[in-house]
Amino acid sequence: MEFAGFQLRNNLFVAPMAGVTDRPFRQLCKKLGAGLAVSEMVTSNSLLYGSAKTLRRANHDGEVEPISVQIAGADPKMMAEAARHNVDNGAQIIDINMGCPAKKVCNVMAGSALMQHEQLVGEILDAVVGAVPNTPVTLKFRTGWNIANKNAPNIARIAESAGVRAVAIHGRTRCQQYTGEAEYDTIAYVKTLVKIPVIANGDITTPEKAKFVLDKTGADGIMIGRAAQGRPWLFREIEHYLKTGEKLPPAPVAEIHAILMAHLDDLYAFYGVETGVKVARKHISWYTKGLIGSAAFRKVMNTLPTLEEQRTAVDSFFLRYAEEHAHLQYEDNKTAEEALAA
């Protein structure tokens, strides 16, 4: 896919997720089939540029290009400065967050709260595009603020007029958070209004659902977030299905074991051992959620304080699991999607 001046492997995007899409996770998703992975949200507050969290989020050493960095804020001048700062530090695409529904973000009028103020949206987009004229700017937002105010079509037209190169739309309003089901009619309508690429996001959990959403919306690509937590190989499954119309066989337990162990090593190296062990716990939980016999393992694993104990516990669990099962088996005959959604 040609996207914002870059040639991507495909039209599958990793959604930016705070606390999830760090460099190790982005690299893993790209290795396993994603065409582009957007960074975690980076603050536009220059006072925090030197904080450990912001520095980690801006760390792209060795990452497969293009490097897309998402910035968040509500002040046009600060957002423009944040764009320049991140481009100076390696960003090749600047993505603007107007989709995050979290209260702590919306309470400072950032994220999806901005959709209530279309004039301010235009000012922010004009400022950012103008600040980095040689760097493509993209925008992520929702269908609207609430059900009665689905103004995604207006926001998309404002974005195109400002020179934004592509938009990604989550099929829920801000007030819906992540409840209910995503709808795609609004995304399909936006696609008829603008000439820039439109990426569809929301509830894409299987290869079949990916094809359905592409067909339903006419979107140029799809963006996957929560469904890839603990299941980064979903991207290669979707890539294969879209190319061939056939589903890949399930990954063997031994391969998933190897993927997870490599992921853990990357986390330890990226965060340092102490923080890495803590961050790794949530990923291990996602990888094993819903698996037959995994509840007791997770309970113990979350109490283990050292890298060595954590790695040994994961090794032991998956080696035993591989002896009993060729592929991952979920409780109550659930699919992986059902188990992860539970």
- The catalytic residue positions are 100
Q: How many residues does the chain have?
A: 342
CA–CA gap between residue 30 and residue 234 (Å, rounded): 11
Which tokens sit at 28? 């893993």
Q: Are 221 and 199 in contact (CB under 8 A)?
A: yes
Which tokens sit at 113? 């709260």
Q: Which residues contact 324 (CB under 8 A, 6 or more apart)?
A: none
Coil/strand/helix, residue 325: coil
Q: Which residues contact 239 (CB under 8 A, 6 or more apart)?
A: 9, 10, 12, 33
CA–CA gap between residue 64 and residue 335 (Å, rounded): 31
CA–CA gap between residue 304 and residue 132 (Å, rounded): 46
Closest CA to 46 of 71, 67, 20, 17: 71
Give the residue carrying structure tokens 């700062």.
85
Could you give the residue ranges of the DSSP H alpha helices within the chain? 23-31, 52-57, 76-88, 103-106, 118-131, 152-162, 185-193, 207-217, 234-244, 253-271, 273-288, 295-301, 307-324, 336-341
CA–CA gap between residue 23 and residue 16 (Å, rounded): 11
Which tokens sit at 26? 């982005």
Q: Are 60 and 269 in contact (CB under 8 A)?
A: no
CA–CA gap between residue 26 and residue 263 (Å, rounded): 11
Which tokens sit at 239? 């890539």
Give the residue carrying structure tokens 């934004």.
164
